[in-house]
């Protein structure tokens, strides 16, 4: 089954007991806005998970602006909210799916596959005259046991090595040194999911340093969606990512590890099988003085 579900699909299953709907609305710079919106109105039966309080750890020197939550802490939070290992989860937000995709990725990282994202988010649900409420459901605690999948992550040391070798290999190829270039093993592709201007080092408003990881290519995460906020089809996404080799490993990053997640979803929808997340992303990368920074076009 696709990772996204339609409004009609959810409406038909709205009150199924084995399902939990999760409201992931969150606005950067307005930390209470998502919770306030949820308390005002939400999809019936939905619970709320906060990007900073539930889906991230506290910020420290390294790890980026939204460090991954501790798996056991998140598992305990899910258990308290009545989510078990057999629960089907449907997540939504109002930010083109970026926060819902963060939860989608995190749950899969914890070994939970039954998780989906609502197409169009809350606003389209409401505009379509689907039911909303301000009632907050009473949840009976369950047991969620984390089965962490470490292979889904790439750490800063590996990303640094991939970056350095990618740049070195590109330099060898530019000098037509076929022997040197061919001696370099096939490297993972680094994908930067941010908007093109931020990738180039322009108009950076979220992080203290602009630019990108040397060797990374830019695929803006919002380009995986249609103008109405729906996700593009598998065929359209295959065309979008046509410049990438499906047999190569891919490491995806963004500013803080959130908007990389919808890009990972889109890559998997397009048929890419070996896609990992650099969770700390750019905000973690620049926390290390020794890490190189590139600007402009690669």
Q: Average pLDDT for residues 91-100, to the nearest whole number?
A: 97
pLDDT, residue 178, reads 47
Q: Which of 254, 260, 277, 294 is catalytic?
A: 254
Instruction: Look up 261 and say whether it is catalytic.
Output: no
User: What is residue 151's predicted lDDT score, i.e. its pLDDT?
Assistant: 97
- Mean pLDDT (the chain, rounded): 94
Q: Which helix (H) or strand (E) holds 7?
A: helix 7-12
Token pair in block for residue 273: 């099988």
Task: List, in sequence order, every residue forming a beta bridge with 23; answer none if it has no partner.
Answer: 48, 92
Percent helix / strand / coil, the chain, rounded to 5 = 35, 15, 55
Please report which helix (H) or strand (E) contains residue 264, including its range.
helix 260-269
Is residue 181 predicted with pLDDT exceeding 70?
no
Q: Are the beta carbons of 54 and 77 closer than 8 angstroms?
A: yes
Least confident of 48-52, 134-138, 229-233: 229-233
Using alpha carbons, list the distances in angstroms from residue 210 to 53, 68, 196, 197. Answer: 27, 22, 12, 9
CATH assignment, 4-149 = 3.40.250.10
Question: Quick one: average pLDDT of 187-203?
Answer: 96
Residue 170 reports pLDDT greater than 60: yes
Q: Where are the domains of the chain?
A: 4-149, 153-285
pLDDT band at residue 27, thresholds of 50, 70 and 90? very high
**Where residue 1 falls among pLDDT bands split at 50, 70, 90?**
low
Q: Could you tell me whether strands 19-23 and 250-253 are parallel, antiparallel, or unpaired per DSSP bridges?
A: unpaired
Mean pLDDT to the nearest integer, 250-258: 98
User: Fold identical between 4-149 and 153-285?
Assistant: yes
Nearest-angstrom CA–CA distance, 199 and 285: 13
Question: Among the listed ranges 71-85, 172-186, 216-230, 237-251, which one has the minimum average pLDDT value?
Answer: 172-186
Arch. (CATH architecture) of 153-285: 3-Layer(aba) Sandwich (3.40)
Long-range contacts, stretch 73-80, CB < 8 angstroms, 24+ apart: 74/106, 74/110, 74/146, 75/110, 75/144, 75/145, 75/146, 76/144, 77/49, 78/144, 79/141, 79/142, 79/143, 79/144, 80/139, 80/141
Between 260-269 and 98-109, two packed helices, what is the crossing angle to 10 degrees? 70
Residue 182 pLDDT greater than 70, yes or no: no
What percentage of the chain exceeds 90 in pLDDT? 89
Q: What is the structure's pLDDT at 180?
A: 47
**CB contact set of 217 (below 8 Å; sequence gap of 6+):** 189, 190, 191, 192, 243, 298
């Amino acid at each position: 089954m696709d990772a996204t579900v339609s409004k009609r699909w959810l409406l038909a299953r709205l009150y199924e007991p084995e399902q939990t709907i999760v409201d992931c609305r969150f606005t950067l710079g307005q930390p209470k806005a998502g919770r306030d919106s949820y308390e005002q109105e939400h999809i019936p039966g939905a619970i709320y998970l906060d990007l900073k309080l539930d889906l991230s750890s506290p910020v420290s020197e390294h790890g980026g602006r939204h460090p991954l939550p501790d798996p056991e802490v998140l598992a305990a939070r899910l258990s308290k909210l009545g989510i078990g290992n057999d629960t089907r989860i449907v997540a939504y937000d109002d930010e083109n799916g970026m926060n819902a995709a963060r939860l989608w990725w995190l749950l899969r990282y914890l070994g939970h596959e039954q998780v989906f994202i609502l197409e169009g988010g809350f606003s389209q649900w409401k505009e379509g005259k689907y039911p909303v409420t301000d009632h907050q459901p009473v949840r009976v605690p369950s047991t969620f046991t984390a089965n962490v999948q470490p292979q889904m992550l790439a750490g800063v040391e590996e990303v640094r090595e991939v970056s350095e070798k990618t740049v070195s290999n590109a330099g060898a190829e530019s000098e037509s040194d076929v022997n040197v270039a061919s001696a370099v093993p096939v490297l993972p592709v680094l994908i930067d999911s941010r908007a093109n201007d931020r990738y180039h080092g322009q108009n950076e408003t979220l992080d203290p340093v602009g630019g990108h990881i040397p060797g990374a290519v830019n695929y803006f995460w919002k380009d995986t969606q249609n103008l109405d906020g729906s996700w593009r089809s598998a065929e359209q996404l295959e065309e979008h990512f046509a410049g990438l080799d499906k047999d190569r490993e891919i490491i995806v990053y963004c500013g803080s590890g959130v908007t990389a997640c919808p890009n990972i979803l889109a890559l998997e929808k397009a048929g890419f099988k070996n896609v990992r997340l650099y969770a700390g992303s750019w905000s973690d990368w620049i926390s290390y003085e020794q890490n190189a920074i590139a600007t402009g076009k690669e």
